[in-house]
């Protein structure tokens, strides 16, 4: 028989000491970001009988098999995926709300209604100088609001692209760090503290990356990770110890597209579907569409008014000059007021004389504006943006709920529960005390043997 009471007791005390250390580590890191709860895995030391002693009863105590990280790969992947979706929805809603504020708060709609009203008022007395001046001032206000809306939309676009550039810098930094972690993981011994803290770092980097872009990961046998952007068929971003570089190109209408360079000869296009980068890209697409519609409304308004102006005569019996300037086609940013004086408004048809109170041309202008209906088009544009914002907000709230559900599920497994750790403290303390008693018993037995004379 080759078991030794003293060494069995000693191994028990040692194992209990290690388990207590692990418990204390958990308690100390209960609020650390990205910390995964550790637990000590203990296993029996088994020893077989030796030569000539087959069938022996030999017991050798307990040993620490390893420190286990309680993190499920699936749950972590779920947290990354849902987190990327929620981040995309967040970024998109924020961008779209800014677009809505730019168009709505510049008050273009009210200015267009005011211009329409001033024309209607002019019908009552077409030769009145004050009513004509009112028309010119309403037109000036309307041109001003169009210019403000266009520059506000440009500012929103610039802000979104600036934030996207910043996010890309972060993605590149995180990918570089992930590559370095990969290198160290390849060298770390299995189940050592070195490896567990590196694994924690790796998972935390992956989670931070998923806030910016959706990632597809493949964990290799040696715990290093291979990272692709934008789904399993996307371009390679991190492999082994090398990381690629994500870049952004801006198109003519302000929309952005992404490409990864460094692994292939030419840069590979990345179609991102999650994360804040994808959200900002989608918001920029909508911004470009809104800007184009605003420009076409300005063009409709200005072209209709100018056409009616050239078809009539002013009170001075001169041909009407264009009221709006800024080139054809007119855009919201380039629209200007070309007539400074109310005397240039052509209310009378070409067949009337000087100082005629015939308002036929003015009525024709009002009819043309009524059928082209740029005011109704502006209302439709505002309704379109606000409907989109409302829809995306509902989506965002739902995605947030799903993401927090995945987080809770991961934390239930990987997070530290202080009550559980308190129970462990009591348990391993008792185990330590019991192993100490075992050693005491071994000493007593030995003393008994020594006391034989």
Partner 1 sequence: MTTISTSTSAFYERSSMDIADLRSRAEGLQADLSRGQRIARSSDDPVGASRLRQLQRADSLSQIDVANAAKANTNLQLTDSALGTFADYVTRIQELTTQAANGTMTDAARASLGTEIAQIRGNMIQLANSRDVEGGALFGGQSAGDAFTVDSAGNATYAGTGTAGDLPLGDGQNVTRGLTGPEFLKLPAGSGQPDLLAALKALADGLQAGGAAAVQAAQDGLAALNQGMDQITTAQTVVGTRLAWVDLTTERRTNLGEMRSAEETDVGGTDIASTVARLQETMTVLEASQASFTKLASLSLFSLLN
**Interface residues with partner 1 (CB under 8 A)?**
30-31, 37, 97, 100-101, 104, 109-110, 113-114, 116-117, 120-121, 123-125, 127-128, 352-353, 355-359, 375, 379, 382-383, 385-387, 389-390, 393, 404, 407-408, 411-412, 414-420, 422-423, 425-426
Which residue, 109 or 263, is less far from partner 1 as judged by CB? 109
CB of 260 to partner 1, least distance (A): 34
CB of 432 to partner 1, least distance (A): 15
CB of 85 to partner 1, least distance (A): 18
Which residue, 147 or 356, is less far from partner 1 as judged by CB? 356
Which residue, 398 or 445, is less far from partner 1 as judged by CB? 398
Which residue, 47 or 367, is less far from partner 1 as judged by CB? 367
Tokens found for residue 250: 């801006």
Which residue, 268 or 381, is less far from partner 1 as judged by CB? 381
CA distances from 260 to 231, 242, 244, 265 (A): 14, 13, 6, 11
Is the CB of residue 58 less than 8 Å from the CB of residue 45? no
CA quadruple 222, 225, 226, 230: dihedral sign: positive
Count of Cβ atoms closer than 10 Å to residue 419 Cβ: 7
Measure the CA–CA gap between 332 and 296, rounded to whole angstroms. 8
CB of 318 to partner 1, least distance (A): 16
Sequential DSSP letters for 218-263: EE-TTS-EEEEESSTTS-EEEETTEE-EEEEEE-TTS-EEEEEESS
Which residue, 96 or 438, is less far from partner 1 as judged by CB? 96
CB of 401 to partner 1, least distance (A): 11
CA distances from 316 to 124, 130, 181, 254, 412 (A): 19, 16, 82, 47, 84
Helix axes 129-187, 193-212, angle to 10 degrees: 160
Which residue, 250 or 409, is less far from partner 1 as judged by CB? 409
Is the CB of residue 340 less than 8 Å from the CB of residue 127? no
Which residue, 222 or 397, is less far from partner 1 as judged by CB? 397
Alpha helices in 53-128, H assignment, sequence order: 73-105, 108-124
Count of Cβ atoms closer than 10 Å to residue 334 Cβ: 16
CB of 6 to partner 1, least distance (A): 31
Measure the CA–CA gap between 75 and 203, rounded to whole angstroms. 12
Is the CB of residue 110 less than 8 Å from the CB of residue 294? no
CB of 151 to partner 1, least distance (A): 20
CB of 80 to partner 1, least distance (A): 17
CB within 8 A of 88, min separation 6: which ones? Answer: 214, 273, 274, 275, 276, 278, 279, 282
Which residue, 328 or 408, is less far from partner 1 as judged by CB? 408
CB of 217 to partner 1, least distance (A): 23
Which residue, 2 or 423, is less far from partner 1 as judged by CB? 423
Helix (H, G, I), strand (E, B) or coil at 333: coil
CB of 408 to partner 1, least distance (A): 6
Count of Cβ atoms closer than 10 Å to residue 452 Cβ: 5
Measure the CA–CA gap between 345 and 342, rounded to whole angstroms. 6
């Amino acid at each position: 028989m080759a078991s030794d009471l003293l060494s069995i007791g000693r191994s028990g005390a040692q194992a209990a000491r290690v388990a207590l250390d692990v418990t204390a580590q958990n308690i100390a890191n209960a609020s650390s970001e990205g910390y995964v709860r550790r637990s000590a895995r203990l296993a029996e030391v088994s020893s077989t009988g030796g030569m000539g002693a087959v069938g022996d009863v030999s017991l050798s105590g307990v040993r620490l098999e390893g420190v286990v990280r309680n993190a499920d790969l699936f749950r972590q992947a779920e947290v990354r995926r849902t987190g990327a979706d929620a981040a995309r929805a967040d970024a998109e809603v924020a961008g779209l709300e800014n677009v809505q504020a730019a168009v709505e708060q510049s008050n273009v709609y009210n200015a267009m209604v005011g211009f329409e009203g001033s024309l209607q008022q002019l019908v009552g007395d077409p030769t009145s100088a004050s009513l004509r001046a009112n028309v010119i001032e309403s037109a000036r206000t309307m041109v001003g609001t169009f210019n403000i809306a266009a520059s506000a939309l440009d500012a929103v676009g610039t802000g979104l692209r600036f934030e996207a550039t910043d996010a890309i810098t972060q993605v590149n930094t995180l990918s570089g760090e992930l590559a370095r972690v990969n290198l160290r993981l390849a060298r770390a011994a299995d189940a050592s503290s070195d490896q567990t803290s590196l694994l924690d770092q790796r998972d935390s980097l992956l989670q931070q990356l998923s806030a910016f872009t959706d990632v597809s990961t493949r964990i290799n046998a040696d715990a290093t990770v291979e990272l692709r952007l934008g789904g399993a068929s996307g371009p390679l971003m991190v492999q082994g110890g090398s990381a690629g570089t994500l870049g952004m190109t801006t198109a003519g209408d302000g929309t952005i597209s992404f490409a990864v360079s460094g692994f292939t000869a030419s840069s590979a296009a990345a179609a991102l579907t999650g994360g804040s980068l994808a959200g900002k890209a989608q918001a920029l697409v909508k911004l470009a569409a809104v800007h184009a519609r605003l420009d076409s409304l300005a063009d409709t308004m200005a072209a209709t008014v100018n056409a009616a102006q050239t078809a009539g005569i002013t009170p001075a019996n001169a041909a009407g000059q264009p009221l709006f300037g800024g080139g054809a086609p007119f855009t919201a940013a380039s629209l200007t007021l070309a007539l400074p004086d109310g005397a240039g408004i052509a209310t009378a048809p070409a067949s009337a004389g000087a100082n005629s109170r015939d308002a036929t041309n003015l009525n024709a202008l009002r009819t043309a504006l009524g059928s082209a209906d740029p005011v109704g088009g502006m209302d439709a544009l505002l309704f379109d943006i606000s409907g989109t914002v409302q829809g995306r907000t509902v989506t965002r709230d739902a995605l947030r709920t799903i993401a927090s559900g995945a987080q809770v599920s991961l934390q239930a497994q990987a997070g530290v529960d202080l009550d559980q750790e308190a129970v462990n403290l009591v348990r391993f303390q008792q185990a330590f005390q019991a192993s100490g008693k075992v050693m005491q018993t071994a000493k007593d037995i030995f003393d008994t043997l020594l006391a034989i004379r």
